[in-house]
Chain A
Amino acid sequence: MHVPDGFINAPVSAAAGVVAAGAVAVSLRGARRELDERTAPLAGLVAAFIFAVQMLNFPVAAGTSGHLLGGALAAILVGPYTGVLCVTVVLLMQGILFADGGLTALGVNVLDMGITTTVVAYALFRGLLKALPKTRRSVTGASFVAALVSVPAAACVFTLIYWTGGTTDIPIGKVFTAMVGVHVLIGIGEALITALTVGAVIAVRPDLVHGARGLTSSLKLRVDGELVDAPARQPLAPVAARSHRGIWATGLVTALVLAGFVSYYASANPDGLEKVAADQGIDKKTEEHAAKDSPLADYGVKDISNARISGGLAGVIGVGATIVVGSGVFYVVRRRRTQDAPDDTTRAGENV
């Protein structure tokens, strides 16, 4: 799913880049909390792990083979922030060194394969774990579902981006069916391998699996013949002691404004191209088109009479996609915050 240069037009690529940069900035802060000062070496080696695991081909039926994307696996094993960072670094290096995925499409690739897969997988994983009993089996099951959904979700985000800024007007319905159809299949493989891998790690080192941290029962002390909860371990270094809500809010607003502005600009761009195309004789096309009653005709068609409508739609979709992705990131962030809060009341006391 590595998008090359020239597949998505420049303004939408830029908007995706801005959103991706914002999400990476949030993850950089979050990862420091997940790994304290070990971030650089640990995340680096986990990134190397993901890079290697993407080369691990698993045979699918009939001689074909697939490989892992690794977003869900990373999120469950090392946490969502570190997961986003690891996959982003892998994509960045693949783009610069191996020319796999275009330089200008880097934002699209990171948003699509790095952020969407990890955020969707982790949100779903956490939600399922809340509902399921706290056993190892439910962790494995939850990671199966999380990975299964994360891959088609990435395909959906790709389709959305393509709808906003694709350089070729393939009817969006076809793109959607093809992308999601293929990626549901890939998702099944990804889900099985992810679940089995998580299961294998839990069997040996359950303490390393970030997603299974709730499993271990809390330490109890026997005080005067009564079991009492031991005080929570003090965090080593409260790196992120300041409140980042303001920064996040600014980031989201900036991303929204930019995406809104840029996607408006983007919607103006195909118009220009359309005019060029119109000069080459499109008179016949309208008649031909009336014969075709594809359900998505209003959206996919970009002939002159519809240019404004489809332009406006493109703008709305651009902003919508940004809000969905942005709020997805924020949802997970807030979830973690509220979840952290009861654990270490001492730290919260310090913060105030």
Chain B
Amino acid sequence: MGAGHAHKLYRHGHSPVHDLPPHCKIAAAFCFVVVVVSTPRESVWAFGLYAVLLGAVTALARIPAGFLLKRLLIEVPFVAFALLMPFVVPGEQTHVLGLSVSVPGLWGAWNVLAKGTLGVAASVLLASTTELRSLLLGLQRLKLPPLLVQIASFMIRYGDVITDEMRRMSIARRSRGFEARGIRQWGVLAKTAGALFIRSYERGERVHLAMVSRGYAGAMPVIDEVTASRAQWAHAAALPVLALAVCLLGWTL
């Protein structure tokens, strides 16, 4: 549960990308996404170049393409939404594969798909090359309020515990012949949620008492202060700067 609690989202490794300080990586990923979002959708080639840039980072981080692609699946609901767009957006009509679709709708679908996918890929890369704890430290370095960082770190530390608690309750329910089929079973599920809330809250109180008895006074000590050298910032900045160049080209061409 403590510091060495590796998460399945993180892919352990030693690469130039893994070794960069977390706050540099967070800033770089964020700037990259901002640049991608502000690129005009008409310059299709620019998005291809962005994908190539991300591919280069993936190769540098030695993350298998399959891993990245599998994590991209989270986007599926929005793909469905984007595919609807050509049919609901009014405007000039055109024919693709015998179907009548609207041109602005196609552009809109392309826009959401391209930018969304690149954004998801960037955050997947960030999460799989940065340990959870150092991500939080990085957020703190980037001046996220310390209280928020603490809340987030407690959430992550106990997220698995609480989820497991819920899983155990589900096993207990099922072993007593419970099967959730419809609205009639909602009462049981709600009681589960209620019990889970009481357990989480009481655990929170116990954790707080344990912390106070060990000298907690409202702030967590930071033991491993991460600092970034100028060179590391420059390395991290390579991705957004290259992307910015592509974006500017996209606006001018």
- Give residues in A with beta carbon < 8 Å to B: 4-7, 9-10, 13, 24-25, 28, 31-32, 37-49, 51-53, 55-56, 58-61, 68, 73, 77-78, 85-86, 88-90, 92-93, 95-100, 102-104, 167-171, 174, 192-193, 195-201, 203-205, 208, 272-273, 276-277, 282, 284-285, 288, 292, 294
Contacts and interface: CB of A to CB of B under 8 A. Distances in A.
A292 B41 CA distance: 27
B2 interface: no
Interface of B: 7, 9, 26, 29-30, 33-34, 36-38, 40-42, 71, 74-75, 78, 85, 88-92, 104-105, 107-109, 111-112, 114-116, 118-120, 122-124, 126-127, 132, 135, 145, 147-148, 150-159, 161-163, 165-166, 180-183, 185-187, 189-198, 200-201, 203-205, 207-208, 211, 218, 220
A104 B34 contact: yes
Contact of B151 (A85, A201, A292): A85
Given A28-B148, A96-B123, A196-B186, A5 B200 contact: no
24 contacts: A7-B112, A10-B34, A32-B147, A40-B220, A41-B207, A41-B211, A45-B158, A45-B200, A48-B154, A48-B161, A52-B162, A52-B200, A53-B197, A68-B193, A90-B155, A93-B152, A95-B123, A99-B127, A102-B37, A104-B34, A193-B190, A201-B197, A204-B194, A285-B92
Closest 10 pairs between A and B when the two form their complex, measured CB to CB? A44-B154, A6-B115, A5-B119, A168-B108, A200-B194, A196-B190, A45-B204, A4-B116, A40-B150, A47-B155
Q: Specify the main secondary structure of chain A where it touches its partner.
A: helix
Contacts of B115: 4-7
Given A6-B112, A98-B74, A169-B89, 17 more contacts: A41-B211, A44-B152, A46-B204, A58-B186, A77-B197, A89-B152, A97-B7, A102-B120, A103-B33, A167-B41, A167-B108, A192-B186, A193-B190, A196-B186, A199-B194, A200-B194, A273-B41
A197 B161 CA distance: 20
Contacts of A58: 180, 185-186, 189
A196 B191 CA distance: 7
Given A96-B127, A102-B119, A205-B198, A41 B162 contact: no
A42 B122 CA distance: 32
A5 B37 contact: yes
A51 B36 contact: no
Nearest to B206: A41
Given A10-B38, A167-B111, A103 B74 contact: no
Contacts of B157: 44
Contacts of A86: 151
A196 B74 contact: no
Contacts of A99: 71, 74-75, 119-120, 123-124, 127
A4 B119 contact: yes
B126 A96 contact: yes
Contacts of A43: 151, 154, 204
Contacts of A92: 148, 152
Given A10-B34, A59-B182, A285-B92, A52 B127 contact: no
